Amino acid sequence: MKKRFTALLGFLLVLALFTQAAFPVLATETVEAYDVIELETTRSLFSLTEVRTVEVQADFGDNVDLSQLEFQYGGKSLSDWKKWTGGTNYNGDPFIKVIEEPHFVDGTTTIKATLEFGLLYNRDNLSNRTIRTQYQQFIGDYELALINPASQTKAAKTVKLNVYDQFHFYEELKPTIDQVFEEANAANDRYLEYQSLGKTVQGRDLHFVILARDQAAVDKYLNETLPTALENPDSLLEKLENGTMGDYQVPVWINNIHPDEVEGVDAQVELFKKFALEEEVTFNTVVDDLEQPVTLNVDEVLDDVIFLYMFTNNPDGRVLNTRANANGLDLNRDNHYQTQIETQEVTQEIAKWTPLSFLDMHGYVSGFLIEPTTPPHNPNFEYDLLYGNMIEQAHAMGKAGISNSAYNSYEIPALDYGDGWDDMTPAYTAMYAMLHGSLGHTIETPALSQNGYDAMYGTGLGATLYVTENKDELYKNQLEIFKRGVNGEDNRAVDEYFVNANGESIGRVRGDNVNFFPEYYVIPVDIAGQKNTLEATKMVEYLLRNGVKVEQTTTNTEVNGVTYPKGTFVVPMDQAKRGLANAMLYKGDDVSDWGAMYDPIVVNFPALRGFDINEVRVSNAFENKTTEVGNLTLPTGEVVGKTPKQVLSNTNNDTVKLINELLRDGKVVEKAMETKGKVNKGDYIVSTKDLAGYADYYYEASPVGTTQNVKTEKLTLSKVAVTGSSQLIFSLKELGFELVSQAEADVIVSDSGAFNANSLAGKAYVGMGINALNAVKNSGLLSGYEWDYTSAGHEGLLKAKVNDHLLTSGYQSDELLYTTNGAWITSVPKEAEVLATVSSSDDFYVAGWWPGHEEARGQTLAFTQNLEDTNITLFANDLAFRSHTQHSFRLLANSIFASVGSEVAKKGKGSVKDKVTKKNKQVEPSFFEKGRDRE
């Protein structure tokens, strides 16, 4: 183990980063050399979350003055180790104290004493978010010493302080895994396999371990059982019914995605050790209302299951002690969007294994919580085949959790809550796994402590016991899920689980259709039939990565009067993973009748990523006219003709990224300011010769000899400052923009309340979302501008009318735009130009959770105004939400590019200097910000 803080200097240097009043910096003094003897202790491991005492003894020989003896810890007097008092202050009473003074034992020269290591933070639960950022600095090895100044002798021993006994830093995980492999190889013939699923943003390995009875069990499952289950589930169901299934194993996946919720990592390590090394594992649980021990024979367990340990999806977060990854995005809100490399790698592996049981280990909420959830439920789950078993498994985990910890109760949201802890979104890892037919459970321990760790460890044992006792029944239900998909069956047994806010069954919302699921989704990729060929192809790549079968037409095919050319992608919905495909492709549901929702629910890749897709409800429409897609290559751009210049259509984000790279490389790029001939407003014009070196980008080019008759503007490299969220920073980087400080910037882009009108002279401002709307309003800068909202966090996919403007170039007049702000603009300045409005149609609201959304009908979504020395562009909707709203990214890019050119210099009425401060309008926090942020 790496030694930490064993010297006073090293400790103070690190601690100084966190606190000014933690421990007094001692005056520099000469370090005296001591003769060192052994200090005997009754324990050498101490905890930040448990009070522990230790007896120590040493023999200094004769003539010892007990009153002169002094204890030190980490080179400091015990009195200098003071308790936390709040913030970053450590100036309370000492947390280590002598409770039995040094004394001689039975007339000998042996000296004994007793110390108490108390609670540094005055609590045994360190889940407080302030404490969670600080406590890890204290974990490590220290020298505990009893010093006799008279003889210059020190009795010393190295001891460890941990948050709980089993905590591991990230860098300790792989050596621990390796040690278990080594011990297992010597002790038994169980199959262990380590994989790195890939690298994180900062280049760390995603550690993944397979534990099975033998390699044959793994090979059989992956190469025989699972393929048959997905293609011909009836055959396995028949074998289970008639008792001819024989020997088979099912995967149990154990997961952590928020690494600052630390028990989820360490409980997995302990479970891995037990099942890899032990012959038997004994634990307590509740049987027939009595707590009693249960013993698992590990070899028998491995006859039933294959364990998959995903110790943490977020190694960078484990190192940085953060919930988010190194890009600042919460991976437990990205399992469906998959904008981050970590979620792409892990979800691909989940799809590969299709686990039967999936445990996602989290913390910290007020109770010991184990899902399943409250309604509303995502209609793409086969809930009748999941719910009952999930309830039973939750009880099995809860009983084991409380029996192996000091907790005396657990709660299951489906039984104990009314709403507010739903699984409508597949954002969470466990909910994503449910789309693969898994029993997906998010588990929340209420405390960061030894007790919390013990409970989490117990849940893993309880889940294992449940799966081994009920394997056949559980697997039958998973196979039934696959069977419904393969047969295209929309079974009405699910309908009772899909209810409205009054608890009334509404079933799947089928409209005029008999089947909730279409027969096919068709994804055109020809330019004539597809507004964004790149995003359409990326969707196919996504589906394949997530285990969904995709086909491609081998001939021109007419369906419902539409001719789809050869090469069109087709997603047949008669397949086992049809629920996952539909969850990502269907329009979504309106659940605005509910009083509370946990998180935004709209996924709708076609709308939010901006590509065309068609539903086909004609049976066998593509029969014998397609071939299955295997490997897929994303398209790249091609220069057309031999003309001096090329016009690049403003149709996709890759083109924006290309333009930024061309500008960074000093190439000339013009932007069309009007539509004329082959050139559309907002298109980019570049040299044909310059394009030759940029083969990795996708662009749609057309040849042009000259642009002398087209009004153009030469672009310069934009210097962009961001005030606001990590998701906005990440999205702008994805578009290739150069991010700089506000002082250096040409454009300030913000989704926050940071707005300083006095600093805008010569710069442009692009604001989006409720906080930016409010900040600009409160500045008084724009006369005649007003806005309103229902509640921050209200979400909706809206039909919108988009006006013809340079800032909206590349968009159609009718678009679907997304918001999770619950806001709109009620009045714009006289000189402003409106960019987009919410449709006035009765069906303007498509999907989401937005009580009171009717107020937004027909209201303004975005406008821009030139002032004398600045330009202000405001969007009521958010353009970069979790980097999934990629269809809106070009609104950002257009606003930035236009702001840097001559548009900023246009003379408008009024200037920054004319601003008048108005009475501030306060924004109420959203439901999601009020403390029920799902851990």
| Residues 134 and 174 both lie in one domain | no
The percent of residues in the chain predicted with pLDDT above 90, rounded, is: 90
Looking up residue 924, the CATH number of its domain turns out to be: 3.40.50.880
d(CA 347, CA 353): 10
Last residue of a domain, one of 487, 502, 533: 487
In a domain, 494, yes or no: no
In a domain, 44, yes or no: yes
d(CA 149, CA 32): 10
d(CA 881, CA 725): 9
Global pTM reads: 0.94
Q: Is the pLDDT at 29 greater than 80, yes or no? A: no
In a domain, 505, yes or no: no
The range of the structural domain enclosing residue 378 comes to 170-487
Last residue of a domain, one of 699, 714, 729: 714
In a domain, 508, yes or no: no
Structural tokens at position 7: 């010297």
pLDDT in tens, 322-349: 999 999 999 999 999 999 999 999 999 9
The percent of residues in the chain predicted with pLDDT above 70, rounded, is: 93
What SS3 class is residue 553?
Answer: strand
Partners of residue 94 on adjacent β-strands: 82
CB 876 within 8 A of CB 826: no
In a domain, 513, yes or no: no
Structural tokens at position 253: 């996946």
What element of type H or E holds 584? helix 578-585
Structural tokens at position 824: 């709109």
Last residue of a domain, one of 162, 194, 218: 162
CB atoms within 10 A of CB 511: 6
CB atoms within 10 A of CB 110: 14
pLDDT at 925: 56
| Residues 143 and 185 both lie in one domain | no
Total structural domains within the chain? 5
In a domain, 381, yes or no: yes
- Closest to 634 in 3D by CA, of 527, 521, 535, 532: 535
Contacts of 8 (CB under 8 A, 6+ apart): 26, 74, 75, 76
Which whole-number Å values give the CA distances from 865 to 770, 782, 825, in the listed order?
Answer: 18, 9, 14
d(CA 898, CA 650): 13
End-to-end Cα distance, the chain: 30
Looking up residue 393, the CATH number of its domain turns out to be: 3.40.630.10
| Residues 27 and 151 both lie in one domain | yes
In a domain, 692, yes or no: yes
Residue type (1 letter), 931:
G
d(CA 271, CA 465): 13
Q: Is the pLDDT at 12 greater than 50, yes or no? A: no
pLDDT at 693: 87
Contacts 24+ apart (CB under 8 A), 299-303: 299/213, 300/468, 301/275, 301/464, 301/468, 302/190, 302/211, 302/212, 302/213, 302/217, 302/249, 302/275, 303/213, 303/247, 303/249
Residue type (1 letter), 560:
N
CB 208 within 8 A of CB 256: no
| Residues 152 and 207 both lie in one domain | no
CB 618 within 8 A of CB 519: yes
pLDDT in tens, 173-193: 999 999 999 999 999 999 999
Average confidence (pLDDT) over 622-635: 96
CB 468 within 8 A of CB 252: no
d(CA 112, CA 809): 81
> What's CA 587's distance to the chain center, in Å?
22
pLDDT at 414: 98
| Residues 148 and 216 both lie in one domain | no
d(CA 422, CA 589): 14
| Residues 728 and 708 both lie in one domain | no
pLDDT in tens, 123-141: 999 999 999 999 999 999 9
Q: Give the up-direction half-sphere exposure of residue 393: CA atoms within 13 A in the CB hemisphere.
A: 31
Q: Is the peptide bond before 364 cis (omega within 30 degrees of 0)?
A: yes
pLDDT at 901: 58
What SS3 class is residue 730?
Answer: helix
| Residues 134 and 200 both lie in one domain | no
| Residues 702 and 730 both lie in one domain | no
d(CA 328, CA 342): 13
3-state secondary structure labels for all residues of 794-828: CCEEEEEEECCCHHHCCCCCEEEEEECCCEEEEEC
pLDDT at 912: 56
Average confidence (pLDDT) over 246-251: 97
| Residues 138 and 269 both lie in one domain | no
- Closest to 668 in 3D by CA, of 708, 715, 635, 630: 715
Residue type (1 letter), 308:
L
| Residues 622 and 655 both lie in one domain | no
Residue type (1 letter), 917:
T
| Residues 670 and 759 both lie in one domain | no
Least confident range of 14-18, 204-208, 313-317, 671-675: 14-18
| Residues 876 and 922 both lie in one domain | yes
What element of type H or E holds 45? strand 45-47
Q: Is the pLDDT at 243 greater than 90, yes or no? A: yes
Average confidence (pLDDT) over 701-725: 90
Strands (E), 848-896: 860-866, 871-875
Structural tokens at position 775: 């900040």
Looking up residue 125, the CATH number of its domain turns out to be: 2.60.40.10
In a domain, 867, yes or no: yes
Q: Is the pLDDT at 498 greater than 90, yes or no? A: yes
Burial pattern 197-210, b for ≥16 Cβ within 10 A else e, equals: bbebbeebbbbbbb
